[in-house]
Amino acid sequence: MHNYFFHDVDLRPVGEKVYVQSEHGEPVPMRRIRLTDTPACFGGAKNPDFYLSDVTGPYGETDAPESIELPKRDRPEPGTGTQLARARRGEVTPEMSFVATRENANIEGFRASLEACGNDKLANRLRPILDRLIPWTGELVRQKIADRTAVIPASFCHPELEPTVIGRHFTTKVNANFGTSSSSKDWREEGRKLQEALARGADTVMDLSTGKSIIETREMILRASPVPVGTVPLYETLERAGGDPLDMNWEIFRETMEDQAKAGVDYMTIHAGLLMPHVELTRGRLTGIVSRGGGMMARWMRSYKRENFLYEHFDEILDIAEHYDITLSLGDGLRSGSIYDGNDAAQFAELKTLGELNRRAGARNVQVMIEGPGHIPMPGVELNRVKEADLCDDAPFYTLGPLVTDIGAGYDHITAAIGGAMIGAAGTAMLCYVTPKEHLGLPNSKDVREGMVAFKLAAHAADVARGVPGAIIRDHLMSHARFEFRWADQFALALDPARAREFHDETLPGAAAQKAHFCSMCGPKFCPMKLAHDLFDDED
Amino acid sequence: MHNYFFHDVDLRPVGEKVYVQSEHGEPVPMRRIRLTDTPACFGGAKNPDFYLSDVTGPYGETDAPESIELPKRDRPEPGTGTQLARARRGEVTPEMSFVATRENANIEGFRASLEACGNDKLANRLRPILDRLIPWTGELVRQKIADRTAVIPASFCHPELEPTVIGRHFTTKVNANFGTSSSSKDWREEGRKLQEALARGADTVMDLSTGKSIIETREMILRASPVPVGTVPLYETLERAGGDPLDMNWEIFRETMEDQAKAGVDYMTIHAGLLMPHVELTRGRLTGIVSRGGGMMARWMRSYKRENFLYEHFDEILDIAEHYDITLSLGDGLRSGSIYDGNDAAQFAELKTLGELNRRAGARNVQVMIEGPGHIPMPGVELNRVKEADLCDDAPFYTLGPLVTDIGAGYDHITAAIGGAMIGAAGTAMLCYVTPKEHLGLPNSKDVREGMVAFKLAAHAADVARGVPGAIIRDHLMSHARFEFRWADQFALALDPARAREFHDETLPGAAAQKAHFCSMCGPKFCPMKLAHDLFDDED
């Protein structure tokens, strides 16, 4: 048994981990933030407990042990019927109950705490938002799975998983990529990146390993991850074929996919929509093909003058996916690698084929996400979501950024967070993070943190734009704490409490500063919020 | 004479500094990037020289001396007639010529180099973009100054200035704030921040100093800055009044404003649009008033039950502004400090008054910018620009972000870059940067770098969205270099060449890696661009 726990990554950033029972009686993890009282000079009111969804698994327990083996949930045998098959039969699965409870993030507990604490001023502000809330139930989730606007990636073979739901009706999810490569073979380092990603709230992770350590890295990630794990089986196929794309074939791919399914991979990127005529459309491109899987398949097709074997054998891919309940993430092999190529005929031709494959998968009860770009200038961002909804029947959209300019090297987590927030607001279900190392090199765990927080920020901004009550309330509680100079509460409600505290303490360290009614930005004399506080006091 | 040059800030990031003559014969600084040849295996074509606008002043000279005194341009005596007055008379000033040349960023030189280098493939891609370019002339700039959709902040008393133009027809500008405070009194550190901001392309800077070192800091910034310098005179007014807002009055303000004008401040934030009825509208706000000037004035008004003295004496403010050609930046004292307060009645009521003041200033030949928010959720961002254009006659809009969520503490340069890119695409003329320290403390020079690059990125993405040919071409040249693995060119074309190089070299150091046809992200076997390169070679 490996010890997967890295003590230099703190997954217990703030509050206490608590559990709320799902309709099936399973404990669903949350993090409770006990907001402190309003300072006496501002009226001394009590403030409620607030809850955040928590993905840290056993690593985030208040008393995490030295070595952690993840608890295993009861899972049916493969072949029992996918989430989609069971949803269509009217069955509410334990996973549907689990994700319903998870999505609600105990907002009913928050409502009760808000009413109990007697802070009328705050309650009056927040009640209109709470009143428009319709809490998720297992049955409501089932309907979204059945109509294929949402997926629950949960392989029968991944008992360590705490499931999540991905779809535009739910909170915007963030995926973190990592994995070994020929120039970085240490799977232990990837374990550190996994924990770093979980600490910052990764809803799913993808192991994109290539090279020699591919199997042991994936095994480590699967056994150590409480969130869904995705892969791109074509990478291992290339490795098994000896490294030359021309030596890849369907048989090797099938074996690889089946082995990965048995190991417990929850979702797989499959580049089955990239066809020979689409490759032809890339001739005039500035940056050709920038998807690794897409590049390999295009090479294979052009060399043999034969159609994509993933397309040719898509029914057999569906066999495996249905048997293990692997969610297919239909890959955009022709996503644009430059704004010049953005929204071009090649990209949208492939998207149309992804729509056809999505319907074929639906007929086989296989869950599907659709992958999206890439590099797109701002005015073209929303069109991607509009076309995806149209061509792919509103299947969950899963984008990489998009990046809104090409010149951000070193800061492309920001370039991509701009496009990610915009496409998230337009209804994209999951954003794949981009790290500051994009276009320059393999990210390290520091880069994972920067990329994750930038994308949790973009996803949260999208949730606010989409009117998600819990997201809006978190913003209001933050600003409420800010206006009352409750520094500890501000840190707790921030996306990265440790960073917020570190930056604050850099110029105003010490316990007294945590209660000061100013920060070093304006200093004590110039704080406008301090000045604004008693503006209307003379009339109270 | 102070030595303003800090040798630990390298302002010579890339290429050579060159000069292009303006219509008036003045040298206008540019940075020339000599792109390297396409590698032989990809055809070995020549690539053109590209030019970037350069704001580094003498600090950015290839052989910068130990101590630098900025050269002084010939400036008329105060009272000679503002840029607006002269534009209305049909006069093309030296400043209009200068900014026209600066805006063009020698794209004609690029076009000539492109045609000369014989790279037909590249030229065919870029010609359609170049063909829709109408180069700026002094006369075209004059028209935009005359119709008040653009300003050239250039005080008669700031001879060190290399002027710039701010308006939605021109490239999106970025302002950097800094300044001493009661908790950070060292003006030398502010000089370092100035250089850091210039190194990352700050188009203007604001000295927001408060506290004891206010005058010597401003004098240092003015004498050391080749870009326009803005201030908020109310801060020094408070200092002169002894620190209590209630002791401020019009006489102290007038003296302060006049002294700052004589010292050479190019533009001033004036909170004259915040009226007593507007303050009343903030009663239900979550975060009250978050503008320092706004908070001070609101306090003063509420205490004395008297109207804002800046509004009452606005004609006298115009006297000073007209005499010295100070551009007024009409401050939004009621900008929202939380998404809860965003786009509320208070904010838009003040904006309407700013529109009235803008018209009064126009009648007196005083140049005006309008300041904007603040915290605004994504769906409300564009409305701010729409309303500003409507209520303020399309005067140059100058926004702080906006920040699209409240919970980004520690990463609010990203929160604000998202909103900044969006509002820039909607026609905002200048973005005030936000640093990662926002809401937490006073930024240091490292924070200045992060904030500056995030905002240059947002402004550039906005320029791409607005169809600015030079911006789009820079993206295409970057992607062209990327597809040909010309690493040095990618670094040179990136927003922060040093950071891009550092990140690349972290995993693939050494000279050989600069010529490698892969990076550590995918490694040599998996690079899709490498695979894509010879896809169609069999038919060539």
Query: What DSSP string describes B81-124?
Result: --HHHHHHTT---HHHHHHHHHHHTTHHHHHHHHHHTT-HHHHH
Q: State the best of A414, A435, A472, A536 to mutate against chain B, taking most chain B CBs within 10 Å.
A: A414
pLDDT band at A14 (very low <50, low <70, confident <90, very high): confident
CB A436: neighbour CB atoms within 10 A? 25
Question: Interior CA angle at A267 toward A264 and A271, to 5°?
Answer: 130
Question: Strand pairing partners for B330?
Answer: B270, B370
Percent of chain A with pLDDT over 90: 84
Choice among A196-210, A399-413, B499-513 with the minimum mean pLDDT = B499-513
Locate B106 and state its tokens: 């020698």
Residue A51 makes CB contacts below 8 A (sequence gap 6+) with A18, A30, A31, A32, A33, A105, A106, A107, A109, A110
The closest CB to that of A464, out of B279, B405, B502, belongs to B405
Q: State the best of B232, B475, B476, B486 to mutate against chain A, taking most chain A CBs within 10 Å.
A: B475
Read off the DSSP letter of residue A215: H
pLDDT band at B1 (very low <50, low <70, confident <90, very high): very low
Q: What is the mean pLDDT of residues B435-443?
A: 95
What interface predicted TM-score (ipTM) does this complex get?
Answer: 0.97
pLDDT of A11 reads 65
Q: What is the three-class DSSP state of A17?
A: strand
Between residues 315 and 354 of chain A, which touch chain B (CB distance below 8 Å)? 337-340
Locate B46 and state its tokens: 């020549």
Q: What is the mean pLDDT of residues B100-122?
A: 97
Higher-confidence residue of A191 and A470: namely A470
Q: Which of B166, B37, B168, B52 is nearest to B107 (CA)?
A: B52
DSSP string, A314-373: HHHHHHHHHHHTPEEEE--TT--SSTTTTT-HHHHHHHHHHHHHHHHHHHTT--EEEEE-
**Cβ separation B298–A184 shorter than 8 A:** no
Residue A486 makes CB contacts below 8 A (sequence gap 6+) with A35, A36, A38, A39, A47
Q: What is the mean pLDDT of residues A111-121?
A: 97
Instruction: Say what the alpha-carbon torsion angle B202, B206, B209, B213 is, to the nearest 10 degrees.
Output: 70
CB B153 within 8 Å of CB B267: yes
CB A143: neighbour CB atoms within 10 A? 16
CB B376 within 8 Å of CB B402: yes
pLDDT of A255 reads 98
Q: What is the mean pLDDT of residues A109-127?
A: 97
pLDDT at A517 over 90: no
**Total beta-carbon pairs less than 8 A apart between chain A and chain B:** 388
Using a CB–CB cutoff of 8 Å, tell me whether B400 touches chain A: no
What is the rounded average pLDDT for all residues in chain A? 93
| A258-to-A262, A270, A303, A322 alpha-carbon distances in Å | 6, 13, 26, 11
| A75-to-A79, A154, A227, B39 alpha-carbon distances in Å | 11, 10, 15, 55
Q: What is the three-class DSSP state of A181?
A: strand
**Cβ separation A453–B411 shorter than 8 A:** yes
Higher-confidence residue of A137 and A59: namely A137
pLDDT of A535 reads 84
pLDDT of B539 reads 63
Indicate the burial class of B74 (C-beta count within 10 angstroms; 0-12, 13-18, 19 or more). Answer: exposed
Q: Which of B428, B354, B435, B425 is nearest to B391 (CA)?
A: B354
The alpha-carbon gap from A500 to the nearest alpha carbon of chain B, in Å, equals: 5
The closest CB to that of A520, out of B287, B442, B478, belongs to B442
Residue B146 makes CB contacts below 8 A (sequence gap 6+) with B84, B87, B88
**Cβ separation A404–B421 shorter than 8 A:** yes
| B15-to-A22, A245, B30, B52 alpha-carbon distances in Å | 61, 40, 10, 10
pLDDT at A185 over 90: no
| pLDDT (tens digit per residue) in A64-98 | 666 678 889 999 999 999 999 999 999 999 999 99
Residue that has been written with the tokens 């040349």 in this structure: B101
Locate B111 and state its tokens: 């076009």
| pLDDT (tens digit per residue) in A248-265 | 999 999 999 999 999 999
CB A11 within 8 Å of CB A56: yes
The alpha-carbon gap from B242 to the nearest alpha carbon of chain A, in Å, equals: 11
Q: Long-range CB contacts (< 8 A, 24+ apart) of A49-52?
A: A49/A109, A49/A110, A49/A113, A50/A110, A50/A113, A50/A473, A50/A474, A50/A477, A50/A493, A51/A18, A51/A105, A51/A106, A51/A107, A51/A109, A51/A110, A52/A15, A52/A105, A52/A474
Q: What is the mean pLDDT of residues B467-480?
A: 97
Q: What is the mean pLDDT of residues B52-64?
A: 85
pLDDT at B540 over 70: no
pLDDT at A296 over 60: yes
Q: Which amino acid is located at B175 in the chain?
A: N
| A81-to-A95, A154, A264, A368, A430 alpha-carbon distances in Å | 13, 12, 16, 15, 25
pLDDT of B537 reads 72
pLDDT at A491 over 60: yes
Cis-peptide into A509, omega within 30 deg: no
Indicate the burial class of A77 (C-beta count within 10 angstroms; 0-12, 13-18, 19 or more). Answer: exposed
How many Å apart are CA A201 and CA A13, to the nearest integer? 11
**Cβ separation B378–A299 shorter than 8 A:** no
Using a CB–CB cutoff of 8 Å, tell me whether B176 touches chain A: no
pLDDT of A10 reads 67
pLDDT of B525 reads 72
Give contacts of B177 with chain A, Cβ < 8 Å. Answer: none
**Cβ separation A182–B524 shorter than 8 A:** yes
Q: Which of B519, B400, B449 is nearest to A411 (CA)?
A: B449
CB B442 within 8 Å of CB B420: no
**Cβ separation B405–A440 shorter than 8 A:** no
Q: What is the mean pLDDT of residues B63-69?
A: 69
The closest CB to that of A288, out of B502, B524, B533, belongs to B533
In which element (H, E) is residue B241 found? none
pLDDT at B434 over 80: yes
CB A37: neighbour CB atoms within 10 A? 16
DSSP string, B424-449: HHTT-SEEE---TTTTTS---HHHHH
| pLDDT (tens digit per residue) in A332-381 | 999 999 999 999 999 999 999 999 999 999 999 999 999 999 999 999 99
Between residues 452 and 511 of chain B, which touch chain A (CB distance below 8 Å)? 453-454, 457-458, 460-462, 464-465, 472, 474-476, 478-480, 482-483, 490-491, 493-496, 499-500, 502-504, 506-508
**Cβ separation A407–B494 shorter than 8 A:** yes
Q: What is the three-class DSSP state of A206?
A: strand
Give contacts of B508 with chain A, Cβ < 8 Å. Answer: 183, 441
pLDDT band at B484 (very low <50, low <70, confident <90, very high): very high
Q: How large is the angle between the packed helices A412-425 and A378-391, nearest 10 degrees? A: 50
pLDDT at B104 over 90: yes
Q: What pTM did the predictor assign? A: 0.97
Indicate the burial class of B10 (C-beta count within 10 angstroms; 0-12, 13-18, 19 or more). Answer: middle
CB A103 within 8 Å of CB A170: yes
Q: What is the mean pLDDT of residues B81-86?
A: 98
| pLDDT (tens digit per residue) in A384-443 | 999 999 999 999 999 999 999 999 999 999 999 999 999 999 999 999 999 999 999 999
Could you tell me the end-to-end alpha-carbon distance of chain B, in angstroms, rounded to an integer?
Answer: 65
φ, ψ of residue A338 in degrees (nearest 5): -155, 155
CB B468 within 8 Å of CB B129: no
Q: State the best of B47, B285, B522, B537 to mutate against chain A, taking most chain A CBs within 10 Å.
A: B522
Give contacts of B454 with chain A, Cβ < 8 Å. Answer: 411, 414
Instruction: Tell how many helices (H) and how many strands (E) occur in chain A.
Output: 22, 13
How many Å apart are CA A2 and CA B472, to the nearest integer? 50
Using a CB–CB cutoff of 8 Å, tell me whether A24 touches chain B: no
In which element (H, E) is residue B147 found? none
Between residues 412 and 441 of chain A, which touch chain B (CB distance below 8 Å)? 413-415, 417-418, 421-422, 425, 436-441
How many Å apart are CA B278 and CA B347, to the nearest integer? 8
pLDDT band at A12 (very low <50, low <70, confident <90, very high): low
pLDDT of A536 reads 83
What is the rounded average pLDDT for all residues in chain B? 93
